[in-house]
């Protein structure tokens, strides 16, 4: 479904040059839920944006259903992007538009007639159980409802792929479970290939089929989530082992002044 070949993305030039994604090769199966996890600055979000070329790679190939997006002109790329929905961390809703108007936006940009786009927007809201909030403005909605509106907005174009950039980091734990349930149901019922970027391993454990671990711009390890249930299995990399741990470990010091010196030095 999705194949990234030697994808590299750099920013700046000369002494200010920074490589955010380094020679990444990645295969994502059709209909799967694929997690990409790593610490802040690992290159996760840049790699996600490489998939739909919102951030164009410096080099490499991005193939979606066998089509190299890097080889397309602007018009051809826009047409391909209609098949790729995206959910953002901070919702990106327009406060002066109602829920249904926010969901309609992508269809409006595509030139879909008003009556048709309203019908499709209402259908998308129904998928996330927010038909009763169609006339509400973002300021009248909870964080979880806003994220569900953004899911509906991504679904309204009937995409084959759904890119999710930290979709639960702006909501509380209870709402996280609700958002993930909707994404899981959408994947199961509509067969949409879903890629989720997060730094939260509990999110990956709850929903993903496979996970790619990123560190310093590179994919350093991949494994199936079902492997975590196998006796004796553990990730091969230290970053992978750390990320699957549910524990928070603090360094204990013997003297109060040692801690103070460490913190305030």
Answer whether 120's CB lies under 8 Å from 107's CB.
Answer: yes
CB 3 within 8 A of CB 26: yes
What's the gap between Cα 216 and its chain centre?
Answer: 18
Tokens of 35: 């997690």
pLDDT category at 234 given cuts 50, 70, 90 is: confident
Phi-psi region of 232 (alpha: psi -120 to 50; beta: other; left: phi over 0): left
Q: Which H or E run contains 22?
A: strand 18-28
Length, in residues, of the chain? 265
Q: Which of 158, 179, 159, 184 is nearest to 167 (CA)?
A: 179
Rounded to 10 deg, the angle between the 173-190 and 143-155 helix axes is 20
Q: Is the pLDDT of residue 260 over 60?
A: no
Contact 50, 7 (CB under 8 A): yes
CB of 114 within 8 A of CB of 121? no
Mean pLDDT of 65-75: 94
pLDDT band at 262 (very low <50, low <70, confident <90, very high): very low
What homologous superfamily does CATH list for 2-83+159-264? Answer: P-loop containing nucleotide triphosphate hydrolases (3.40.50.300)
pLDDT of residue 70: 95
Q: 33 and 86 in contact (C-beta within 8 Å)?
A: no
| pTM of the predicted protein model | 0.86
pLDDT-derived band at 145 (thresholds 50, 70, 90) equals very high
Q: Residue 246's pLDDT is what?
A: 61
Where do the domains of the chain lie?
A: 2-83+159-264, 93-158
Average per-residue pLDDT in the chain?
A: 89
* pLDDT band at 127; cut points 50, 70, 90: very high
Residues 14-64: pLDDT tens digits? 888 999 999 999 999 999 999 999 988 999 999 999 999 999 999 999 999
């Amino acid at each position: 479904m999705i194949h990234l070949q030697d994808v590299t993305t750099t920013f700046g030039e000369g002494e200010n040059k920074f490589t955010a994604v380094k020679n990444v090769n990645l295969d994502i199966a059709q209909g799967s839920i694929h997690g990409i996890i790593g610490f802040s600055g690992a290159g996760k979000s840049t790699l996600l944006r490489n998939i739909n070329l919102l951030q164009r790679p410096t080099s490499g190939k991005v193939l979606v259903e066998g089509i190299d997006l890097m080889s397309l002109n602007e018009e051809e790329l826009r047409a391909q992007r209609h098949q790729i929905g995206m959910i953002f961390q901070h919702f990106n809703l327009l406060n002066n538009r109602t829920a249904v108007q926010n969901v309609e936006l992508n269809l409006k940009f595509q030139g879909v007639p008003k009556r048709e786009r309203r019908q499709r927007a209402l259908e998308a809201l129904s998928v996330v159980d927010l038909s009763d909030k169609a006339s509400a403005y973002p300021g009248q909605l909870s964080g979880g409802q806003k994220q569900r509106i953004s899911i509906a907005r991504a679904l309204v174009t009937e995409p084959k792929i759904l890119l999710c950039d930290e979709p639960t980091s702006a909501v509380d734990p209870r709402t996280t479970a609700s958002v993930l349930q909707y994404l899981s149901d959408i994947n199961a019922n509509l067969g949409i290939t879903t890629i989720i970027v997060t730094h939260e391993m509990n999110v990956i454990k709850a929903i993903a089929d496979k996970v790619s671990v990123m560190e310093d711009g590179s994919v350093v390890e991949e494994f199936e989530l079902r492997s975590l249930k196998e006796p004796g299995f553990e990730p091969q990399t230290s970053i992978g082992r750390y990320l699957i741990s549910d524990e928070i470990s603090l360094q204990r010091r013997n003297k109060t002044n040692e801690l103070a010196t460490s913190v305030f030095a």
